Chains A and B, each alone.
Chain A
């Protein structure tokens, strides 16, 4: 049957699929984004790693820096301090967040969405803000300093309280996701078998969220051990790894020791990252697609207890926010509490300026726009590129690394990499673009995972259909994929925007006088003793983030109504 004109390969030889022009486009863009991650993350990490083995002149000295670190008690005790504070915080926050999530998902208490909203407020704060609020509550001139029973706020107590407030919404979010996947059929089965409420809790509820709990624990662990804002304000003489990096680099200009502390901090962060990934994977495997959502039934006593609990937690969060707000408007705390806008006159303060606020807005806007485009395209290509397994595998791996890298380590790594005279990318140093790049990379992973989740929910055959219709993939990307994923895309942009507004850790090493940022200004003003203006700047950040979030919600509702008409029957 085969006519001579057909050059069919001899039977039995492996078919090498022809790579079409479109496939090449996909691969090239994929490689481009992978290169971006390589240059903005892997190379800098290599730079900081090698720096930790060098003298300040760049001479390789093996483990000498590490030996110095471990033979200086003031330095290595920080490890113990960091772990102590972190673990205590986890032990407090995880059960509290668990109970709060339990109340929101398994009780019939009223005002659930109000309490959820309040609980999520700290996400909009730089971690410096709850710490500053604590100073006004429990500090030397605090409103209720007696409540600490004479203990010093500055030190582990203050740090633990501050961190607890800062990480609470993050842990709560994980718990809520884990709890929302409950399968009502299991509860019915338990009831039929005559299990009581407590027995059901231990045999159905807890096993169902066990991986969520593990994941929450490790996320909490990472956030606290790498956080810099709270210990910076409340650390006092209590040294922690995160503050040590800053002190070594900014205080003593000992970059090599900073690199060593950074590498030491990286180890638990990487470990927690892997533990969290494993837990998350198991949690997903628990999800059965046929699960019937659980509908709680009213139980007055239980609902009342849950409501009381939520009121207490909500009150604490509002008290923190309210105190910071009040302090920022009080003329002269605690002596003259009359209303004044003096503290918002940042240009008069040491280390602060209104420009820094506008810089932050600029940073957040660029990060949201460029970051969302890069992250979503990257996730799309990882998911949809045909063949090219190696490239996709590497890209997938690169996308996950940022989550394991503490901001301080990333920021310091950028100094080593970009401030190297031999580096052509050095022109970026001390500019707005490097802040944008750093922030995108810093928050890449969560945004990437959000995009992947949305893409996985799309029919995998859209691409097959469009290629059969001879429509190039990029057309389908813009006409179908992007519109269908718009809710996720808006979420990603919001996530990047808010985090760019509140982040301190990475950018604290990278700003220049021209690109000072609001969160860094907060830090510097607080350092200089201008606590009230720092609180004012914090309120400005929270207010802006909340405002942008509100506008975002309204806009996206309107946008969704127009572009997502198909969602409503």
Chain B
């Protein structure tokens, strides 16, 4: 189910969506492959829902084209497209039973009653609600309503499943449970799926590929690992997981200077012109055990603050007492004990070359620590 082996299913090209003077989508191009599970991830208001609704035909884009299964659907109304959709509100018909909700799309297709019956039972079993058919949606829990909405969307066997923040109305426990269930279900029936979310954990655990969006543009498209390990932009680096942003200078090929210390960086070459750059590393990637002054990329830092996170302590550290070079690193509990780490203490840590990310000077470091 990797992007390269499957065939192209959906292709959006140069989508622009304007609401009056406001541009909600700005030149968005995207390819989605057969049977893929894709997440649109981004902060509130970045245009995820707008993109999803353009794909569904609910709010057609201002310019740009969309192809689905080789057919140009750019201007088609939703009723002439092929998709099933689950909304955040679920939009279950309150006056119809669960059974009739699921059967809603089937009854209209002229299917025979016994066939409808069988299909509804099959779907309710698929979503784990075989004996709830006679209830009304108000009598179900949020998680159950969510599954009914899913069953209804899948009933007519659409080629594309669209989910707009399907889990955000649920509490944390139900949410993580349903994450796995939806993912397993999608895998089982192999339906191409797009899910909108602003929860990175959700995207990282469920998606085959993630589309990270910001301010109406796509920042990066990639597998969860690619996005996490190789963020393509400072925004992605900051938005996914926790990231330290440190001011540095270029110092020759594959080398940067940080707080007066030269460090090797994998895979990025920089001219030796001492230009300003930003060096990023995740707190959990900072090497803390068995590091001394002679280790590669080692640096001495002072513990400014300590925060207990359960399995680890997250330390805030200063290099040379310089607040612009403040960063966070994770210390395991027994390392804390072994080295008697405490506030004010000086420690040696190392920045592994393959864990450092270098971005050109950031004029906009909003959100950086």
List A residues at the B interface (Cβ < 8 Å).
1-3, 6-9, 11-20, 22-23, 386, 459, 461-462, 464-472, 475, 479-480, 483-484, 563-567, 569
Contact at A467–B79, with CB atoms within 8 Å?
A: yes
Q: Complex Cα distance A15/B57, Å?
A: 11
A242 to chain B, nearest CB (A): 45
Q: Select B95's contact among A11, A19, A484, beta carbons within 8 Å.
A: A484
Contact at A483–B67, with CB atoms within 8 Å?
A: no
Q: Complex Cα distance A386/B58, Å?
A: 9
Contact at A471–B62, with CB atoms within 8 Å?
A: no
Contact at A15–B77, with CB atoms within 8 Å?
A: no
Interface string of B231-259 (1 = CB under 8 A from A): 00000000000000000000000000000
Contact A20/B72 with A468-B56, A565-B136 known, Cβ cut-off 8 Å: no
Contacting A at CB under 8 A, from B268-310, are: none
Contact at B78–A464, with CB atoms within 8 Å?
A: yes
Answer yes or no: B123 CB below 8 A from chain A CBs: no
Contact at A464–B56, with CB atoms within 8 Å?
A: yes
Contact at B137–A13, with CB atoms within 8 Å?
A: no
Contact at B70–A3, with CB atoms within 8 Å?
A: yes
Contact at A475–B75, with CB atoms within 8 Å?
A: no
Contact at A6–B108, with CB atoms within 8 Å?
A: no
Contact at A6–B85, with CB atoms within 8 Å?
A: no
Residues of B within 8 A of A467 (CB): 77-79
Q: Name 10 extra pairs, CB < 8 A, besides A13-B63, A465-B85, A566-B137.
A: A11-B63, A22-B77, A459-B87, A467-B77, A468-B56, A468-B158, A469-B108, A470-B79, A470-B156, A566-B139
Answer yes or no: B61 CB below 8 A from chain A CBs: yes
Number of residues on chain B facing chain A (CB within 8 A): 49
Contact at B91–A15, with CB atoms within 8 Å?
A: no
Residues of A within 8 A of B80 (CB): 18, 20
Contact A470/B109 with A12-B63, A15-B60, A459-B89 known, Cβ cut-off 8 Å: yes
Residues of B within 8 A of A9 (CB): 65, 74
Q: Complex Cα distance A107/B217, Å?
A: 56
List B residues at the A interface (Cβ < 8 Å).
8, 11, 13-14, 31, 56-58, 60-65, 67, 70-72, 74-81, 83-85, 87, 89, 91, 93-96, 104-105, 108-109, 136-139, 152-153, 155-156, 158
Residues of B within 8 A of A16 (CB): 75
Q: Select B105's contact among A14, A471, A479, A480, beta carbons within 8 Å.
A: A471
B144 to chain A, nearest CB (A): 13
Q: Complex Cα distance A17/B81, Å?
A: 13
B193 to chain A, nearest CB (A): 14
Q: Complex Cα distance A520/B86, Å?
A: 56
Contact at A563–B156, with CB atoms within 8 Å?
A: no
Question: 19 interchain pairs (CB within 8 A)?
Answer: A6-B67, A8-B65, A9-B74, A11-B64, A11-B65, A15-B62, A15-B65, A17-B77, A22-B79, A23-B77, A459-B89, A459-B91, A462-B93, A468-B158, A479-B96, A484-B94, A484-B95, A565-B136, A566-B136
Contact at A465–B87, with CB atoms within 8 Å?
A: yes
Contact at B11–A1, with CB atoms within 8 Å?
A: yes
Residues of A within 8 A of B85 (CB): 464-465, 468
Contact at B71–A6, with CB atoms within 8 Å?
A: yes
Q: Complex Cα distance A22/B57, Å?
A: 15
Q: Complex Cα distance A468/B156, Å?
A: 9
Q: Select A15's contact among B70, B75, B79, beta carbons within 8 Å.
A: B75
Contact A471/B104 with A11-B14, A15-B63 known, Cβ cut-off 8 Å: yes
A87 to chain B, nearest CB (A): 43
Residues of A within 8 A of B83 (CB): 468
Q: Complex Cα distance A294/B122, Å?
A: 48
Q: Select A6's contact among B61, B70, B89, beta carbons within 8 Å.
A: B70
Contact at B138–A466, with CB atoms within 8 Å?
A: no
Closest Cβ neighbor of B14 among chain A residues: A11
Residues of A within 8 A of B136 (CB): 565-566
Contact at B93–A464, with CB atoms within 8 Å?
A: no
Contact at B79–A566, with CB atoms within 8 Å?
A: no
Contact at A7–B72, with CB atoms within 8 Å?
A: yes
The 10 closest A-B pairs by CB, nearest first: A469-B105, A566-B136, A461-B91, A20-B77, A467-B78, A467-B79, A17-B60, A483-B95, A18-B75, A461-B87
A471 to chain B, nearest CB (A): 5
